[in-house]
Structure 1
């Protein structure tokens, strides 16, 4: 009878298996009874395919971390927090530098950003040269079955990662144990609002450093394809890796209900206390609520040539926030961070959740102060006339002559209500242009500007009975104001040569491009599509898988923003690479066809002018 070699428990085979476990230099060959058809490396890695990163890959990630200057900031923050010069600080097994390089390497493979995966990189996936570069003491790959070595590397990586998070965590709390409502309330009561502001600024600086580094990885002709930085702002959901949350409105009642109850019978869940509910629409018009945070992202777009692809659509800036809290302030932070690219402020596009719904002092005025001009859609109730200044009417981002016909004033409302079709609407929008007030000079250092009636001056665009002009100044093709449309009591705009508009006059309705025009529709569609395309790409399971909390199990607000930062960094880098690959291929095709490649001429298109008021 033939002995079953895979179940042979004879003493020689047992000794052979023991030698293989204790002596990693002894490798099993296919058919070896010790491992069957498995290789020693497969058994050692637990079935993972852990390829060693090349020295070139590690050196590139290393150089990028150095370029962003974040290591100096981390050192300064650590010194500030412990009130010491750090000269006598005990060196750690794994540095901040190594953690950041390791995260970049994992993200480039689209691997889960988990501490266990990061520990394996440090333990087994680096060459000797790379270990020296990252100041990791050289240790041979762990012996097969050597759990102590695995635990040492995991523990060192875990401590290093959380040491990094502690420098910029706005919401520190213990996250290992499940909590009752009473314990949740205690965490909220112990929250330090001043510390939160300080750490939130650090966290945003961290993200800014990474994303600006990716912007600088582009060749000069892509970075300077436009003189201004135009943005599309949007949000995407970031799920918490814990199992759910709590109702903040009912928290006090739930705490009261727990009084006098046996502690062991209370409901407990391992929750991130500092998160919120995100409502996601479902096909049956109901909302699916998920617990987590909102990632605020600004994408670079093109207001000059929205139909073309002149540069990669990168995530220029990003922050993390609680759902439905501080939306306006986060948008302002995105714009302020975008100016770090060195480009002048341009147009910022957003959906109706921003400029169409926000308070002027929270979003519109800070946007104007930063130098950006909005491009947005309006809610139905904001269409038509909204505001009057010295007799001039504010209508959807422009100041118009008060005698403009009612059909032109209500064109947008009529279009939304279905009273006119798209062709008629476009014609009426074009017919508004001659009725726009015209600037008389440039704004002063206080933002004030003199504006003229469209029927006044040497080159009037309309003919009005209230204005007497020489015959040679009147263009017969210009629209004529009907007597029935004249105001009952003409104001300053009708009686003076010009009137002063102040910095924030009409700022709520101000638009960079004439609302409803073909140019506005083209740019707004381009900007919205760019933002939605980025969200779809970073949430794709083939790439960053940002919406999959199981791929980033470290808990807490700070960990979530660090992971968002790393994944957006990888998105930007692969987007740049893909864009340049396409650009190179197109250039090669042009050359092989015997044609002269078109010379790159940045900023050849005319950017929409910033409104004067």
Structure 2
């Protein structure tokens, strides 16, 4: 080491300003800069406006087993805890309980501490160790009380379990209690998301009269990554018992999670309640699995003007669930939650995992009851003619006349098989509309059935049929005709013999859609809806902002804790989207508003010999270049004019 290096290190050692400060020690190297009082007040107001505090009080009273001896009041209230967590979400910090405790202990000014009813922190530095531990302990306890009010899957989450213990947890699980507390957990999420939706200006919220949504699932990681297979859980538990619990390797921690098929040959399934999920990595299987949960998200889209950006694409409903379990039921709950936002239910778009896969009683019937109309793509095995009622044929969500020409009925299978091109396909879809049955009455009869009639009947028939010859002579324009050879009297059914029939459209394998499947209108909206929800998924999972998929940003274990924190991250995401949307509006307004150029004083008052301009005396008049003085002013007067001030 040279003498220069020795002098440098000696100077560094003697410089106390470069050492670790007392404030850094208090925060253990983390940021403990205080929040502004106005920001704390704003976040606290949003917590109260959500209505969750009153709901938590009702749930606590409901769970109370009666009057007790009372006890010491909690140092940290639900209001203070949720405010601290939302402040962390706002600044993009990890949602850790240690950081929430630091917010409550160090980062709130006196006025904000008074607002949240928090005690003062001792100023003595010597007391920082026990004080910090006490604040952390009280923060953890406050979060535990909050979680216990809405935890459908209670279990010990601090230690690894044997397979026998996991099996016992699943066997002792109370399904009735789980349904009650799952409803509470979803209500917590609904109230917070509704608060963000109502934070929009009225004109933005009601840019459309109906609420159109697109929903999907996305993977959410767990703090513990070791999982188990439910299909061989019993055999592994038996092997443990036979081994008399000898040297057992640490097993999974969370019993209520599952394997999510990320990519590869693995198939995503939708098990109903009571089914055992068989999804698990297998030997020699080429597939990528992740152990964790899935977030069910519904995002607002625009069916009237797809892609017009009349409002921000907010998350309007959300929940967390176990992968491969009750996918359709979770979607139905999303639609019920979205229907409470004050707008009439509109169109609900989804991929093939939902409408095209779930049985009607699981998703379609609850959605129709809520008021939403499906929009989806179909699986290749569910296009073309798939069943029917009363003689009518069910084709891709719509009932058609039995005399519809075969090329029209098989248009979609022919397109998927490259038998016809897109232009021919669209033409056949448009021609097929004429053979679709007509709705006789908009009102539905008991049981959810609809009254339909032959397309050759009614005040506005769209086809002519030999069986309805009375309408042929009354036709004022040419219409498609049903071929007589396709109609045999002995095979005629109700739709051809009577004026109308009652149809149960929920029995169709391909549900009826808002737009005619395969048309350009359907494709435009479906692409817009799918792109929007996929974009929201990526934004929520992108690093740097909410990053909801990374378990390291929320280390508290269990699906309930995850949903509590993910909900607050979605709240922050929605608020950011609203602010960005309003900012874009202001930028566009400033860009399109005509500007009034203000003249400089020297141009307004004095004659300028260089620019050949003279003053006009009015600040609101735009600058204009006058005619050169060389052509209008005699040479002997030009210099005198340049030196003469123009008085206003």
TM-score, structure 1 length as denominator? 0.88
Distance verdict in 2 for CA 1:507–1:588, change over 3 Å: farther
- Structure 2: distance between partners of 1:250 and 1:270: 14
Whole-angstrom distance in 2 between the partners of 1:481 and 1:163: 69
Q: CA deviation at 1:2?
A: 11
| Displacement after TM superposition at 1:480 (Å) | 2.1
Distance change in 2, residues 1:358/1:504 (3 Å): closer
Q: Which residue of 2 aligns with 1:22?
A: none
Q: What residue in structure 1 maps to residue 562 of structure 2?
A: 560
Counterpart of 2:154 in structure 1 is 172
Which one of 124, 133, 138 corresponds to residue 156 of structure 1? 138
Q: Which residue of 2 aligns with 1:11?
A: none
* Structure 1 contact 277–289 (Cα < 8 Å) conserved: yes
Rounded to whole Å, the distance in 2 between the matches of 1:373 and 1:321 is 24
Name which of 42, 47, 52 aligns with 1:70.
Answer: 52
**Change over 3 Å in CA distance of 1:501–1:260 after alignment to 2:** closer
> Pairwise mapping of residues 110-129 of structure 1 onto structure 2 (< 5 A)?
110-129=92-111
Counterpart contact for 1:460–1:473, Cα < 8 Å: no
Q: How far, CA to CA, are the matches of 1:360 and 1:124 in structure 2?
A: 54
- Partners of 2:124 and 2:572 in 1: how far apart? 30
Match of 1:48 in 2: 30
Whether the aligned pair in 1 keeps the contact of 2:75 and 2:138 (CA below 8 Å) is yes
Q: After superposition, give the CA deviation of every residue in 1:412-448 in whole Å (9 maximum; x if it has no partner).
A: 1111111111111111111111111112232245344
Distance 1:401 1:173, change over 3 A: same
Give how far 1:86 is off: 8.2
Compute the RMSD of aligned alpha carbons. Answer: 2.6
Q: Is 1:334 matched up with 2:316? A: no
What's the secondary structure of 1:307's corresponding residue?
coil
Q: 1:413 to 1:471 in 2, by over 3 A?
A: closer
Q: Pick from 524, 532, 536: which aligns with 1:530?
A: 532
Q: Deviation of residue 495 (structure 1)?
A: 2.6
Q: Distance in 2 between matches of 1:162 and 1:385?
A: 55
CA distance 1:471–1:7, shift in 2 (3 Å): closer
Q: Is the 1:539–1:546 Cα contact (8 Å) retained in structure 2?
A: yes
Q: Which residue does 1:432 correspond to in 2?
A: 432
Aligned: 1:308 with 2:332: no
1:236/1:294 contact within 8 Å kept:
yes
Distance in 2 (alpha carbons) for counterparts of 1:242 and 1:448 = 49
Cα separation, 2, equivalents of 1:256 and 1:505: 44
- Please give the secondary structure, in 2, of the residue aligned with 1:451: strand
Distance 1:583 1:92 in 2: 45
CA spacing shift, 1:445–1:467, aligned 2, 3 Å:
closer
TM-score normalised according to structure 2 size:
0.84
Most deviating of 454-463 and 55-64: 454-463
CA distance in 1, matches of 2:154, 2:230: 19
Change (3 A) 1:470 1:550: closer
Q: State the match for 2:453 in structure 1.
A: 452
- Aligned position for 1:25: none
Alpha carbons of structure 1 residues 491 and 132: separation in structure 2 relative to 1, 3 Å:
same
1:146 counterpart residue number: 128
Instruction: Indicate the residue corresponding to 2:498 in structure 1.
Output: 496
Task: Tell me the CA shift for residue 190 of structure 1.
Answer: 2.4
Distance (whole Å) between structure 1 residues aligned to residue 54 and residue 159 of structure 2: 34
1:250 aligns with 2:238: no
* SS of alignment partner, residue 352 of structure 1: coil
Count residues in correspondence.
574
Native 8 Å contact 1:275 1:293 kept in 2:
yes
Instruction: Tell me, yes or no, if structure 1 residue 240 matches structure 2 residue 228.
Output: no
Do the aligned residues in 2 keep the contact of 1:30 with 1:37 (CA within 8 Å)?
no
Question: Do 2:355 and 2:364's aligned partners in 1 also have CA atoms closer than 8 Å?
Answer: yes
Task: Within 5 Å, give how 1:154-233 maps onto structure 2.
Answer: 154-233=136-215
Q: 1:576 aligns with which of 571, 578, 590?
A: 578
Q: Post-superposition shift, 1:255?
A: 1.1
Query: Residue 383 of structure 1: CA displacement?
Result: 0.4
CA deviations 1:564-595 (Å, max 9, x no partner) are 2111111111111111111121122222369x
- Alpha-carbon separation, structure 1, partners of 2:212 and 2:461: 33
1:496-530 alpha-carbon deviations (Å, 9 max, x no partner): 23223346454852111100111110111111111
| Pair 1:465–1:3, CA change in 2 (3 A) | closer
Q: In the alignment, is the contact (CA less than 8 A) between 1:278 and 1:290 conserved in 2?
A: yes
Check whether the contact 2:223–2:551 (CA below 8 A) recurs between aligned residues: yes
- Which structure has the higher relative contact order (CA within 8 Å, separation 6+)? 1
Deviation at 1:42, TM superposition (A): 3.4
Q: Which runs of 5+ in 2 are unaligned?
A: 267-284, 597-648
* Whole-Å separation in 2 of the counterparts to 1:237 and 1:408: 40
